[in-house]
Amino acid sequence: MNIARTSASIADLAWFKSSYSGAEGGQCVEVAAVTDAVCVRDSKVLGGPVLAVSRNAWAGFVGLAADRSA
Say what the pLDDT of residue 70 is.
Answer: 54
For residue 28, what pLDDT is reported? 84
Pairing state between β 37-42 and 29-34:
antiparallel
pTM of the entire structure? Answer: 0.73
User: pLDDT, tens digit, for every residue of 22-70?
Assistant: 666 567 889 999 888 999 998 888 888 999 999 999 999 999 988 875 5
> What integer pLDDT is reported at residue 26 of this predicted model?
67
* Cβ atoms 41, 34 nearer than 8 A: no
| Class of residue 50 by CB neighbours under 10 A (exposed 0-12, middle 13-18, buried 19+) | buried
